Structure 1
Amino acid sequence: MALNIFSNPMNSFVIFLLMLLSYSLPNEVLGRSATLPKSDVELIEFALNLEYLEADYFLNGALGHGLDVVAPNLTGGGPPPIGARIAHLGPLVRDVILQFGLQEVGHLRAIKSTVRGFPRPLLNISSETFGQIIDNAFAFDPYANDINYLIATYVIPYVGLNGYVGANPLLQSVTAKKLVAGLLAAESGQDAVVRAMLYERRYEIVIPYGVTVAEFTDRISALRNKLGRDGLKDEGLVVPKELGAEGKVTGNILSLNKDSLGYPRTPPEILRIVYATGNESVPGGFYPKGANGTIARSYLEH
């Protein structure tokens, strides 16, 4: 004899509640992220540009090959990066950078599991690009040794961190907020590790440039502020005391505002920095043909 689950009043009540929830919960809570608001999708997809950059920079620096070997399914068929090569790193730094690279693979997978995304844009991670970003006066080789690679790495995760801080208040859906919170946590951690490793060597002279590590970070931060064109949102490892935590210290292990909170940046600000042109409509720098996605391409159309 067949069992009638509706014969028990309690069973009927439970089934009624489940049916009610299935109608009342938003699709995103039920795992169908296709219903994300358009603005959430565009902001998350914008972040893909920086995640592609970090993945290929870190993987190539540690292994001598990038996404095309480690996770070719995540490239979307985009072109291989220009100037990518293995860095001359010691065991500790290579270990840290490899971890960063594999973390970026996870970030790409998480983003592409939430939104459709787009193919990897053309990236330029050559020595010439880093020299342009860091200081036009230096023929800077980021792949030469540990300290050069860490200084070059100082350029990248922090910009992604700023983008996630800026995007978070604009997100509408639970799914998008959860994803961005997780990505922000990882990018903040990477930036903190790099800054801590550099802070330990802040007064070391970088050969052959005759400039300390701290001075290098100051120049990079000053350039990013200049390119971003929205005031002070970036600080080096050593700052005037009034800019340190609670106005009491000159050491600046993390770049934070007067309340020790992360600085936000908008997509146009980020594009101005990573293009190294100070103009979100003029590609260059790490993205010689521009970044991908609705937000980035909308500025190129101008």
Structure 2
Amino acid sequence: MTDIQTKLEIFDRIATRRNERRGFLRFAGGGALAVGGASLLAACGNDDSDLAPGPTPTPTPAPALNDADVLNFALQLEYLEAQFYAFAVFGVGLNASLLTGTGTQGAVTGGRQVPEFANGTGDAVIREYAREIALDEIAHVAFLRSALGTAAVAQPAINISAGTVASPGSFTAAARAAGLVTANQVFDPYENENNFLLGAFIFEDVGVSAYKGASVLIANKTYLEAAAGILAAEAYHAGLVRTVLYRRGLGTPATPTTAAVAAVPALITGANAISNARDSLDGTITNTSTGVIGDDDQGITGTDANVSNIVPTDANGIVYSRSAGQVLNIVYLNSASVSSGGFFPAGLNGNIKTSAANA
């Protein structure tokens, strides 16, 4: 399949959702603009303030986040996922028309087509699952950009590379943090379909918990409904990736690959190691009612390695939330409070850009 054919296929799928997006925008009634207008009015203060002297002004606190801030944060996570899946499945990134916006636009480092996806070998089910997820993620980018309109931020610089032993990319850095590879190895998520599944697992659970955590910050009910719809799609994706990893992991031992590249980790232990690494980055969650510390990031098996854990939940069967700061701890690959790193080497655009202080 040529690049042109690939892009036509991708954007034909996006076009089928155009009417849905237009309906959303009509129903929203220019909500993003209304949010921006409300913020502007709040910043202007009292129109009569210049008629009489007032008290000495005090420092202005940081502005409260609005719906556009939250949606732009979500958009940048979608840029990351969409680029990873688009390259892995189709061998090309997002169209340039989907990357523009406010803030500094950055390039994508890394990304290539998984060989089994390119030549039609390997597991056809995984190939088709990956294709469907890729198209969904690209559609999420297009939808959020439509909802935000001129308020949409540009794609920041994104690193989705394996890199080299001496200059590791984000995926290798993440895999080293999880103990999947040594300091003399790299982890390439595009090397084969098993590595691709582990690479996808790094992102999927984070997306679900990010949308759930952001839901309490969204005031506009129309936007909230849209975010809930994307959360549901991400949850389907995450459950699917977990299911495939678990099923294949039951019968797939580690196998050697090319020189200087790590052997494919056993899928179950590899996924569980990634989960533990994410937990070490985003801190622990304490139930304020019971004081019980919970594991907000769980592997694909329970305490018994032979028992599956396809849906990571608390004791009530409820999926965990992550704050924006915790999400950034993971994508920046840093447990400290920083504003760039990892998969976003130059940080994010917009008002949400600093990770939590968990170090």
Shift of 1:188: 0.5
Give the SS at the match of 1:181. Answer: helix
> Is the aligned partner of 1:152 residue 2:152?
no
Q: From the superposition, tell whether residues 177 and 83 of structure 1 become closer, same or farther in structure 2 (CA, over 3 Å).
A: same
> Is the aligned partner of 1:221 residue 2:278?
no
**Structure 2 match to 1:57:** 84
CA RMSD of aligned residues (A): 2.3
**Structure 2 match to 1:164:** 211
Q: Does the CA-based 8 Å contact 1:62-1:98 persist in structure 2? A: yes
Shift of 1:28: 8.3
Q: Which runs of 5+ in 2 are unaligned?
A: 1-24, 39-64, 117-121, 163-168, 257-262, 286-294
Shift of 1:211: 4.2
Structure 2 Cα separation of the partners of residues 30 and 84 of structure 1: 36
Give the SS at the match of 1:237. Answer: coil
Structure 1 Cα separation of the partners of residues 112 and 232 of structure 2: 28
Question: Which segments of structure 1 move beyond 6 Å, counting only runs of 4 or more?
Answer: none
**Structure 2 match to 1:240:** 303
Q: Does the CA-based 8 Å contact 2:113-2:190 persist in structure 1? A: yes
Q: After superposition, what is the alpha-carbon deviation per residue over 1:58-114, rounded to whole angstroms, capped at 9, x for unaligned?
A: 01001110103xxx2111173331011111223432322222121112111221122
AA matched with 1:121: P
Percent sequence identity is: 30
Pairs within 5 Å for 1:72-151: 72-76=96-100, 78-89=105-116, 90=122, 91-115=124-148, 116-127=151-162, 128-136=169-177, 137=179, 138=181, 139-151=186-198
Structure 1 Cα separation of the partners of residues 204 and 308 of structure 2: 20
Q: Does the CA-based 8 Å contact 2:325-2:355 persist in structure 1? A: no
Structure 1 Cα separation of the partners of residues 277 and 87 of structure 2: 25
Q: Does the CA-based 8 Å contact 1:39-1:171 persist in structure 2? A: yes
Q: Which runs of 5+ in 1 are unaligned?
A: 1-26
TM-score normalised over the length of structure 2: 0.69
Structure 1 Cα separation of the partners of residues 145 and 354 of structure 2: 19
Q: From the superposition, tell whether residues 145 and 256 of structure 1 become closer, same or farther in structure 2 (CA, over 3 Å).
A: same
Larger CA Rg, structure 1 vs 2: 1
**Structure 2 match to 1:255:** 312
Q: Does the CA-based 8 Å contact 2:339-2:355 persist in structure 1? A: no
Q: Does the CA-based 8 Å contact 1:151-1:216 persist in structure 2? A: yes
How many residues are treated as equivalent by the alignment? 264
Structure 1 Cα separation of the partners of residues 284 and 227 of structure 2: 23
AA matched with 2:175: I
> Is the aligned partner of 1:32 residue 2:30?
yes
Higher helix share: 1
Q: From the superposition, tell whether residues 280 and 190 of structure 1 become closer, same or farther in structure 2 (CA, over 3 Å).
A: farther
TM-score normalised over the length of structure 1: 0.81
